[in-house]
Amino acid sequence: MNLDAALKTYIAESREMLQEMEDILLRIEGMADQTESLNSIFRAAHTIKGSAGLFGLDGIVAFTHHVETLLDQCRTGETSITENLVALLLQCSDHIGRLIDDLETGAEALSPELQQQGSDLISQLQQTYASKPTDTPTPAPADKPSSNPASQDRPTHSELWHISLRFGLDSLRDGMDPLSFLHYLGTLGEINRIQLINHNMPDFDKMDPESCYLGFELSYQSDASQNVIEEVFEFIRQDSHVCVLPPHADLDDFARLIRELPENDDDLINLLVQCESLTRAEADTLIAPPAVTDESVATPSQEIPSAIDKPEPVPQAQNTAKPTAVRGSSENQSIRVDADKLDHLINLVGELVIAGAGASLNAVNNGDTELLESMSTLTRLVEEVRDSALQLRMVQIGGTFNRFHRVVRDVSKELNKDIKLVITGADTELDKTVVEKIGDPLMHLVRNSIDHGIEPPETRIAAGKPATGTVQLNAYHDSGSIVIEISDDGGGLDRERILAKAIRSGLVSADQPPDNSELFKLIFEPGFSTAETVSNLSGRGVGMDVVKRNISALRGSVEVNSEAGKGTVFQIRLPLTLAIIDGFMVGVGQSSFVVPLDIVIECIELTNNIGTTDSDRDYLDLRGEVLPYVRLRDMFAINGKPPERESVVVVNYAGVKAGLVVDRLMGEFQTVIKPLGKIFSHLKGISGSSILGNGDVALIIDVPGLIQQITALENTAYALPKQTMH
Say if CB 171 and CB 6 are below 8 A apart: no
CA pair distance 482, 509, nearest whole angstrom: 35
pLDDT(2) > 70: no
pLDDT of residue 576: 79
First to last CA, the chain: 64
Is residue 666 classed as helix, strand or coil in its secondary structure?
Answer: strand
Mean pLDDT for the chain? 81
Residues 372-429 pLDDT 10s: 888 889 888 988 888 888 888 888 899 889 889 888 988 888 889 999 999 999 999 8
According to the per-residue pLDDT averaged within each range, which of 199-213, 451-465, 694-708 is highest?
451-465
According to the per-residue pLDDT averaged within each range, which of 124-138, 463-477, 489-503, 610-624 is highest?
463-477
CA 87 to chain centroid: 22
Residues 114-125 pLDDT 10s: 889 999 999 998
- Categorize the per-residue pLDDT at 464 as very low, low, confident or very high, splitting at 50, 70 and 90: very high
pLDDT of residue 99: 92
pLDDT of residue 328: 40
Strand partners, 667: 585
Mean pLDDT lowest among 234-238, 487-491, 584-588: 234-238
Q: Which residue has the higher pLDDT, 158 or 331?
A: 158
pLDDT of residue 560: 92
Residues 262-289 pLDDT 10s: 888 888 888 998 998 888 888 888 765 5
Half-sphere exposure of 354 (CA within 13 A, CB side): 20
- Mean of the pLDDT values across residues 67-92? 88
Instruction: Give the pairing of strands 215-222 and 189-197.
Output: antiparallel
Q: Give the CA distances from residue 171 to residues 203, 215, 235, 414, in Å, rounded to whole numbers and listed in that order.
A: 20, 12, 10, 49
Say if CB 475 and CB 484 are below 8 A apart: yes
pLDDT of residue 96: 94
pLDDT(722) > 60: no
Convert 612-628 into a string of H (helix), E (strand) and C (coil).
EEECCEEEEEECCEEEE
Q: Where are the beta strands (DSSP E) in 246-374?
A: none
Cβ neighbours of residue 604 under 8 Å, at least 6 residues apart? 610, 622, 647, 648, 650
Instruction: Give the pairing of strands 419-424 and 469-478.
Output: parallel
pLDDT(135) > 60: no
- Categorize the per-residue pLDDT at 531 as very low, low, confident or very high, splitting at 50, 70 and 90: low
Say if CB 258 and CB 268 are below 8 A apart: yes
pLDDT of residue 304: 40
pTM, entire model:
0.65
Mean pLDDT lowest among 84-98, 139-153, 363-377, 554-568: 139-153
Say if CB 22 and CB 93 are below 8 A apart: yes
CA pair distance 598, 584, nearest whole angstrom: 9
- Categorize the per-residue pLDDT at 303 as very low, low, confident or very high, splitting at 50, 70 and 90: very low
pLDDT of residue 674: 84
Is residue 588 classed as helix, strand or coil in its secondary structure?
Answer: strand
Q: Which residue has the higher pLDDT, 465 or 479?
A: 465
* Angle subtended by helix axes 339-366 and 369-392, to nearest 10: 160
Q: Give the CA distances from residue 384 to residues 372, 381, 389, 716, in Å, rounded to whole numbers and listed in that order.
A: 19, 5, 8, 46
CA pair distance 452, 537, nearest whole angstrom: 10
pLDDT of residue 120: 92
Strands across the sheet with 161-166, in order?
A: 189-197, 215-222, 161-166, 241-245
pLDDT(253) > 70: yes
Half-sphere exposure of 195 (CA within 13 A, CB side): 19
Say if CB 690 and CB 595 are below 8 A apart: no
**Phi, then psi, of 212 in degrees rounded to 5:** -110, 125
pLDDT of residue 136: 39
Per-residue b or e along 116-143, where b marks 16 or more CB atoms closer than 10 Å to that residue's CB: ebbeebbeebeebbeeeeeeebbebbeb
Amino acid (one-letter) located at 542? V
pLDDT(10) > 80: yes
Q: Which residue has the higher pLDDT, 301 or 259?
A: 259
Residues 540-578 pLDDT 10s: 445 688 888 888 888 888 999 999 889 999 999 988 777
